[in-house]
Homo-oligomer: A and B are copies of this chain.
Amino acid sequence: MSLSTLTKPADAPSTVDASVPYYQSVGNECEMFEQAFAQRLPLLLKGPTGCGKTRFISHMAAKLGKPLHTVSCHDDLTAADLTGRYLLKGGETQWVDGPLTRAVREGGICYLDEVVEARKDVTVVLHPLTDDRRVLPLERTGELLEAPDDFMLVVSYNPGYQHILKSLKPSTRQRFVAMSFDFPPPAVERDIVAKESGLPAERCAALVNLAASLRGMKGQDLEEGISTRLLIYCATLIQAGMPILDAARATIVEPLSDDADVQEGLMEAVRATFG
């Protein structure tokens, strides 16, 4: 069972558990996560779109047997969206915890995806949770919650999007242990695509090669390299019987660009791979 904002682990975590989402490690990222968890240090993940950060965290949460609370951040996300607010019920205002507060009360991992998108007052909530105090003050209720030992804060952002108005201030960045993520190496990515789509691994290899060459175009014609997710979409449609070029146009060319010239360049790369 896999829930987004609250991923409840099996009661007794085990090393190989069917409920642990598949994740293929490519370095020491699992050890680093476990050490940060053990030392009660907050963690910052950096990396491009669709390279597997979310999957990695789901995997680690399940492996550690801890619930996972995920929040996708955006321009209008405020501290109150994380901590909670009063709602009017039966003529009486009643406090309703936000996802961060629930995570601090109950323990587990709270993951703020694309944290640089959130509004600035979010920083204030995170600071006392990310130094040696490890507390969450709730001004509105007058509570001061102490985070349990098994609470861990994880945030992520995509360095490729950073700009002046939207970046983490050093006073915030310097509160996290940090790791960079990138797309998995070819053999790993091939196995991931095969596992998720059902398409035989040998047919997925060409897709992964294509992805590698397209990722080299980033910064020139493409804003961002192709994600592993789109490769899985493509393999899924091929496996369902769709002609390869049709599937590639719909899952690779069209999602990556609106520009006719760029699209033609992409289709040439597709034809060179599968032609």
For A4, the chain B residues whose CB sits under 8 A away are 128, 133, 135, 137, 144
Interface segment among A83-91, A184-192, A200-208, A266-274: the answer is A83-91
Q: Give how many A residues have a beta carbon under 8 Å from the other chain's beta carbons.
A: 90
For A170, the chain B residues whose CB sits under 8 A away are 49, 223-224
A75 at the binding interface (Cβ < 8 Å): yes
For A81, the chain B residues whose CB sits under 8 A away are 139
A275 at the binding interface (Cβ < 8 Å): no
Q: Using CB atoms, name the residue of chain B closest to A180.
A: B254
A106 at the binding interface (Cβ < 8 Å): no
Q: How far is the CA of A86 from the CA of B159 in the complex (A)?
A: 37
CB <8 Å contact, A174 and B89: no
CB <8 Å contact, A246 and B32: yes
Residues of A participating in the B interface, judged by any CB pair closer than 8 Å = 2-6, 28, 31-32, 35, 38-39, 41, 44, 46, 49-50, 54, 70, 72-78, 81, 86-93, 96, 98-99, 113-114, 117, 119-121, 123-124, 127-128, 131-133, 135, 137, 139-140, 142, 144, 158-159, 161-162, 169-171, 173-180, 196, 223-224, 226-227, 229-230, 233, 236-237, 240, 242, 246, 250-251, 254-256, 258
